[in-house]
Structure 1
Amino acid sequence: MIRFQHISLMRGTKTLLENADATLNPGEKIGLIGANGAGKSSLFGMLRGELHADQGEIDFPSRWRLAYVAQETPALDRAAIEYAIDGDVHLRHLQQQLAEAESAPATAANGSLIAELHGALADADAYTVRSRAEQLLTGLGFTLDQMQLPVASFSGGWRMRLNLAQALMCPSDLLLLDEPTNHLDLDAIIWLEDWLKRYAGTLIIISHDRDFLDGVVNVILQIDEQKLKRYSGNYSAFERQRAAQLTLAQSMLEKQTRQRAHLQSFIDRFKAKATKARQAQSRIKALAKMEELAPLRAAAEFSFEFRDPVSAPNPLMVLDDVDAGYRIEDSKGTIGKKIVSGINFSLQSGQRIGLLGVNGAGKSTFIKTIAGDLPPLSGKLHTGKGLVIGYFAQHQVEMLWHDESPLWHLVKIAPDTREQELRNFLGSFNFPGNMVTSPIAPFSGGEKARLALALIVWQRPNLLLLDEPTNHLDLETREALTMALAQFEGTLVLVSHDRHLLRATTDQFMIVADGKLQPFDGDLDDYRDWLFKTKLVAKSLNAEPSPPAVSERRNAPADTPVADNSNRREQKRFEAQDRQRISALKKPVETRIKRLEEQLAKRNARKDELDAQLAAPEIYDAANKETLKTLLTEQAYCAKEIEQLEHEWLEQQEALEKIS
């Protein structure tokens, strides 16, 4: 277990922790929360041994293997999949030892060492490591081709995914994840959530994604008032417990205030009277002994609201057979690269749309097209008179002028407005005093994102296009954005990996997949099920998943009452279509199961042959050293391959049951 005992920690002149205690048990999945700057990352630094407490100690078993996500990624020429495998440091060390032993002159001792290393590599799952790395990288959004590209060819966000893959590849007893969802999209987050649920060690996560915390953790550790406070359950359970504690504390404070007022009143009235002097003195002592409860801190929760739009054209926008994509210059001139094609879409006033789709499907391309950042490659885009778009791009924070102040940014879009009015407006977004005129370069990511939101709110849009607006926001600001969007009177199109935000602010979903935009008939739980099912089936088909058609979801049950023969015939037609669909989904899985059973039979037969050869005493003679090494290697490889085939066979059987 992990014990924090009387921990005190200062960073500069700021006290982060003072005499803090907490105990975390093996196998628990802990969400570490607290205000920005409370000391969450510093606590991780202490667990990694990079920081040392000013007082107290942190105790956990020295034999525990620790894994965490590196914050820097060197621009290496090494292939992405090899970089991910490097996370298993023990395996790489064994491989290096084996390479050195095999290149050394042949001796009896060296032969024994090589045999031992092959056994150690088998125990370290060396023969399945590449397959495991491919599964990890696929879950995090990489294609097989991308896995062979050098690390240096990826952007910063994708390099962070590679660092996350390294941490997950490392066999560990304690896994530390600091904002692991920041650079992931929704499908990668859903995959990571499922992976972490199956993680067997102790897990500590810093995250501002409440749905992610709810899905993974069973303990919340809060840094509050320089103490560590432990709560059982997920984040929603923590909120309920915290609210109950605050209510109780407020009630106790009010009760004590009444008691003190009553005692003071008695003392004031009777301390000068001889007959009541003793009773008055008794109450003075009681008042002095009464431990004064600390008043609740004044609520400093951030909140804002969108101003009512000036007008509301209907429809706001119509896309007529639009192809969305990019124009690329090459030696032959300008060519168009289509990402989403054949878009026929009418955006009506008051719609609240959540946009779904796997990474790279074209969600951002579609948003940029309707925002006007990308002209359509073909087709027509018609906008309503009076349309005002508020667009928060995925990299909006990087697009701000970092050498300029919040006031400068606002003056740029409102040059005719009085400065005091602009200052008051920025103050409502928590930019007080000198902060209004200070360059934003040293601001935190959350403060810059808050400024970008303020600039959008000022423009009073009737159409909000938000592409991952929560990337830099803490829990408090995310909740403020959720509340503001829920009350927004205009039209909303939202791309976000924050499921709580999507659930609370949108009422319909559309999906971008296979180069098409179409309605998604379901909720986020349906999307999660579809994502896992179609990815699994697509793996068998070696093809990309296609989105479900509207008619494939929520079919009426077979015993639905029917009014007449035409309804009965229609019902039978739907049932036949459903059987055909299920049969089409089952066929590739059944084919794969049959092939796996054939491979298992062959590998088991070969392993029996190897076991028989290794049971013969003469194989261990010095003259047969090379043969023994070959047989041991093949035996280990065969055993691991059988284990992998059996695991995949079980997965395919489960997939077949789900389809049925």
Structure 2
Amino acid sequence: MAAYEAILTECFSSIDTEIVDYVNGLLEDGHDDIDTVDDLFEAIGIMLLQTDESKSEDDIKDICGRLFNIMNGSRDSNTPDQSHKRMLTAPVQMSLLGDEEGECMNEANSIWLAKKENASQVDPKKLEKAEAKILKNKDRKGTTLKPKSNGAHEEASASQQFNRKDVKFDASGANRSYDVKIDNFDIAFGEKVLITGASIQLLTGRRYGFVGRNGLGKTTLLRMISKKSLKIPSHISVLHVEQEVHGDDTIALQSVLECDTKREALLQEEKDISNKLSSNNTKSDGDLSSRLTEIYHELEAMDAAKAPSRAGVILAGLGFTPKMQAAPTKEFSGGWRMRLALARALFSKPDLLLLDEPTNMLDMKAIIWLENYLQTWPTTILVVSHDRQFLNAVATDILSLHNQKIDTYRGNYEAFHKTREERLLAQQREYEAQQQYRDHIQVFIDKFRYNAKRASQVQSKLKILEKLPKLVPVEKESKVQFKFPECETLSPPILMLDEVNFYYSKDKVIFKNICLNANMDSRICIVGENGAGKTTLLKILLGNLDPVSGVRHSHRNLSIGYFSQHHVDQLAMNLSSLELMAERFPGMNSEVYRGKLGMYGVSGDLALRPVSSLSGGQKSRVAFALLGMKNPNFFILDEPTNHLDMETIEALGTALGKFQGGVVLVSHDERLIRMLCKELWVVRNGGVETLEGGIDEYKHIVEKELELNC
């Protein structure tokens, strides 16, 4: 606006301020119909000619040309650059601020968020013309517009409103509080709004569990915090355990120790100085000796000598044997490298620790150890988890994401669940009471609407109705339902292992003389430490591995449905769930596919979205739907609850309980085991032991082992 005014006042010494304001307003807000200099001359030329009759028509056209250049982004040679003084009309998307800032300023998708206008104010014709103009400008620059993405490859973006006082206080360096407060922020993934108008406050020393349905944006929020797309105090260190450790020749223990960069730097400096002193080729032995003494004091102050033992305790708690701790990181699988990443985070003790489903990669023993370890954690934790027992043991507060909003509850998950139910019940009662009151007033109005004697009373009641707040029904989450298809009933024996021995190499026997039996009414959970042989046992039951000796017997009509996390990874990510169904099981009507997907909670637009855009839990539901298309009469499931939210886990447990066939599963989700499993198989020491006491007896055994190790 200042640029337009500068040109007008320069060219017209006695121009009225009303004319300046009019031209500014026209060029700032209403120039959609102005595509050329001639268009601009037609709009304001006559007015400017009347302002200064001494100027010719060509002079006025030159002035219009200068104004037109500024309007289209070209800086006038006689006007100072005002681009750095652009006014914000919305919060800044911090995630888009980066090396390409200059480029973003000139592109249609700049760092400035679009102002949210009322839909009724949009002129469709102007909108269409503006879009055509953008296309024209892009072509003129020699670039092509990318087609609209279907959401599969969009990136998440965040916007946030800042308090100037807080920003200045943080910039001054005087802020020493370790509380994290993020006010009034929005998060979107492509065109889909995940969170809007939310605010969270994380008090130092508290442990926050973050819960909500799959696909609502919990993991995305953690990423936005870790990437500093959402602003938090600059002195607070943040660590997000998301990616596995890179495999190289570094041994596991050293990989954890390297997290303490200050300790590593001091040790390296101490080594360099010691080498210099031993060489006797320097004249500054006194200075080096003095610095060496300072280093020793600093190392002693931070308990550097105890660091290896502390790192070893963390690794041992997460299942690393002494031999594994001395092994290079490149020798570990992805799951173990994720454990290493968790160990590094626990060792480094950041001010804010972000954990995303940390129990997915752990066995029962490691989960119990982690629960105990985090209960004494000194700083702030924000953990996304669908393990109900884990949140009960660890969380001091719960953040609940629902309907694009985040609510905070004090207490662990059980306290949150109870409080939320009570709150929803109270809201429902209030809604019903308001509805009853409205109905009572409406009955009076309808009864006496045409009674002249009661006209004043009717008018009074109408005013009361108008002043009442808007009646909003209580929004409850839709109930998740799983429904496995009916299957053929088989008579026993169904699946048996008789005196089975198995090993990959003779010097390491995995199983020795195991005898197991599963029938149509079996609900069996296999537990044990990672590496004990649980997955190997599943493969023997499936018939994918042949015993070295002994017999595997299965019913001739046995149809096994096998689920593992590899099924999720192997889904065609570029197809929708509906297309995936049609590709795997061709020849059916689309309504049949929709019906099958709907049995596992994949319905509506969700079935049409690319698989790559679905959350981990939604992908698992698609995998279950594909599994159900084969009508199995026996399920073997390997960690089926990974990435599933609590409501879906409950639905899965209920559906498996009603399933007419047999079920054998590997799981460490205590809630699911208690809901479903009547029998527990413990894999350890080359055998498989049946526990009559179930999960409680197994937990008691594990806790005793942890006490002995401590």
Aligned counterparts, 1:99-178, within 5 A: 99-104=271-276, 105=282, 106-178=284-356
- Tell me the CA shift for residue 70 of structure 1: 4.7
Q: Match of 2:367?
A: 189
- Which 5+ residue runs of structure 1 have no aligned equivalent? 329-334, 540-650, 652-660
Matched, 1:74 2:256: no
Matched, 1:386 2:386: no
- Tell me the CA shift for residue 286 of structure 1: 0.9
Aligned equivalent of 1:10, options 187, 211, 218: 187
Q: Match of 2:80?
A: none
Q: Match of 1:93?
A: 265
Matched, 1:244 2:419: no
**What is the CA RMSD across the aligned residues, in angstroms?**
2.6
SS at match of 1:198: coil
User: Is this contact kept in 2: 1:42–1:51, CA < 8 A?
Assistant: no
User: Is this contact kept in 2: 1:89–1:170, CA < 8 A?
Assistant: no
Aligned counterparts, 1:559-598, within 5 A: none
Deviations 1:57-99 (A, max 9, x none): x55xx65544432525333321111111122223223223323
- Tell me the CA shift for residue 121 of structure 1: 1.1
Amino acid in the other structure paired with 2:412: N
SS at match of 2:358: coil
Matched, 1:488 2:659: yes
Deviations 1:213-232 (A, max 9, x none): 11111210123333331111
- Tell me the CA shift for residue 178 of structure 1: 1.8
Give the 3 Å change call, closer, same or farther, for CA 447–228 of structure 1 in structure 2: closer
SS at match of 2:359: coil
- Tell me the CA shift for residue 394 of structure 1: 4.4
Deviations 1:546-599 (A, max 9, x none): xxxxxxxxxxxxxxxxxxxxxxxxxxxxxxxxxxxxxxxxxxxxxxxxxxxxxx
Deviations 1:407-455 (A, max 9, x none): 4654576556555323321233343467656653443322221122112
- Tell me the CA shift for residue 176 of structure 1: 1.9
Q: Match of 1:475?
A: 646
- Tell me the CA shift for residue 524 of structure 1: 2.6
Q: Match of 1:223?
A: 401
What CA distance in whole angstroms lies between the structure 2 residues aligned with 1:231 and 1:287? 34
Give the 3 Å change call, closer, same or farther, for CA 424–223 of structure 1 in structure 2: closer
SS at match of 2:600: coil
Q: Match of 2:516?
A: 345
SS at match of 2:611: coil
User: Is this contact kept in 1: 2:483–2:600, CA < 8 A?
Assistant: no
User: Is this contact kept in 2: 1:9–1:18, CA < 8 A?
Assistant: yes
- Tell me the CA shift for residue 179 of structure 1: 1.6
Amino acid in the other structure paired with 1:275: K
- Tell me the CA shift for residue 535 of structure 1: 4.8
The structure with more radius of gyration: 2
Aligned equivalent of 1:32, options 210, 213, 225: 210
Q: Match of 2:129?
A: none
Q: Match of 1:205?
A: 383
What CA distance in whole angstroms lies between the structure 2 residues aligned with 1:454 and 1:441? 17
Amino acid in the other structure paired with 1:480: A
What CA distance in whole angstroms lies between the structure 1 residues aligned with 2:614 and 2:562? 22
What CA distance in whole angstroms lies between the structure 1 residues aligned with 2:577 and 2:197? 39
Q: Match of 1:285?
A: 463
SS at match of 2:544: coil
User: Is this contact kept in 1: 2:211–2:218, CA < 8 A?
Assistant: yes
SS at match of 2:248: coil
SS at match of 1:324: strand
Q: Match of 1:605?
A: none
User: Is this contact kept in 1: 2:237–2:352, CA < 8 A?
Assistant: yes
SS at match of 1:390: strand
User: Is this contact kept in 1: 2:481–2:601, CA < 8 A?
Assistant: no
SS at match of 2:305: coil
Deviations 1:174-211 (A, max 9, x none): 32212211222222212111111122222221111111
- Tell me the CA shift for residue 367 of structure 1: 1.0
SS at match of 1:182: helix
Give the 3 Å change call, closer, same or farther, for CA 495–70 of structure 1 in structure 2: closer
Aligned counterparts, 1:213-362, within 5 A: 213-297=391-475, 299-326=477-504, 338-362=509-533
- Tell me the CA shift for residue 111 of structure 1: 1.8
Amino acid in the other structure paired with 1:76: D
Deviations 1:76-131 (A, max 9, x none): 32111111112222322322332344345453332222112112112222112112
Between 311-320 and 92-101, the greater mean CA deviation after superposition = 92-101
Give the 3 Å change call, closer, same or farther, for CA 313–254 of structure 1 in structure 2: same
Q: Match of 1:509?
A: 680
Give TM-score, length-normalised by structure 2.
0.69
What CA distance in whole angstroms lies between the structure 1 residues aligned with 2:297 and 2:581? 66
User: Is this contact kept in 2: 1:65–1:171, CA < 8 A?
Assistant: no
User: Is this contact kept in 2: 1:77–1:152, CA < 8 A?
Assistant: yes
User: Is this contact kept in 1: 2:207–2:381, CA < 8 A?
Assistant: yes
User: Is this contact kept in 1: 2:252–2:324, CA < 8 A?
Assistant: yes
SS at match of 1:7: strand
Q: Match of 1:611?
A: none
- Tell me the CA shift for residue 37 of structure 1: 4.0
User: Is this contact kept in 1: 2:520–2:660, CA < 8 A?
Assistant: no
What CA distance in whole angstroms lies between the structure 2 residues aligned with 1:158 and 1:45? 22
User: Is this contact kept in 1: 2:369–2:706, CA < 8 A?
Assistant: no
- Tell me the CA shift for residue 505 of structure 1: 0.6
- Which 5+ residue runs of structure 2 have no aligned equivalent? 1-177, 277-281
Amino acid in the other structure paired with 1:7: N
Amino acid in the other structure paired with 2:187: M
Amino acid in the other structure paired with 1:68: H
What CA distance in whole angstroms lies between the structure 2 residues aligned with 1:19 and 1:437? 28
Aligned equivalent of 1:376, options 528, 538, 547: 547
Amino acid in the other structure paired with 2:473: P
What CA distance in whole angstroms lies between the structure 1 residues aligned with 2:183 and 2:587? 57
Amino acid in the other structure paired with 1:9: D
User: Is this contact kept in 2: 1:323–1:376, CA < 8 A?
Assistant: yes
Amino acid in the other structure paired with 1:74: H
The count of corresponding residues between Structure 1 and Structure 2 is 526
Amino acid in the other structure paired with 2:653: T
Between 75-84 and 280-289, the greater mean CA deviation after superposition = 75-84
User: Is this contact kept in 2: 1:211–1:500, CA < 8 A?
Assistant: yes
Q: Match of 1:463?
A: 634
Give the 3 Å change call, closer, same or farther, for CA 17–422 of structure 1 in structure 2: closer
SS at match of 1:237: helix
Q: Match of 2:592?
A: 421
Between 471-480 and 203-212, the greater mean CA deviation after superposition = 471-480
- Tell me the CA shift for residue 342 of structure 1: 0.9
SS at match of 2:530: coil
Give TM-score, length-normalised by structure 1.
0.74
SS at match of 1:231: strand
What CA distance in whole angstroms lies between the structure 1 residues aligned with 2:214 and 2:606? 17
Give the 3 Å change call, closer, same or farther, for CA 342–118 of structure 1 in structure 2: same
- Tell me the CA shift for residue 13 of structure 1: 4.1
What CA distance in whole angstroms lies between the structure 1 residues aligned with 2:237 and 2:180? 17
- Tell me the CA shift for residue 289 of structure 1: 1.0
What CA distance in whole angstroms lies between the structure 1 residues aligned with 2:194 and 2:516? 52
Between 402-411 and 496-505, the greater mean CA deviation after superposition = 402-411
What CA distance in whole angstroms lies between the structure 2 residues aligned with 1:39 and 1:521? 41
Between 402-411 and 88-97, the greater mean CA deviation after superposition = 402-411
Deviations 1:333-377 (A, max 9, x none): xx8964222111222331211111111111111111111221222
SS at match of 2:209: strand
SS at match of 2:465: helix
- Tell me the CA shift for residue 163 of structure 1: 0.8
What CA distance in whole angstroms lies between the structure 2 residues aligned with 1:523 and 1:87? 40
User: Is this contact kept in 2: 1:317–1:382, CA < 8 A?
Assistant: yes
User: Is this contact kept in 2: 1:83–1:166, CA < 8 A?
Assistant: yes
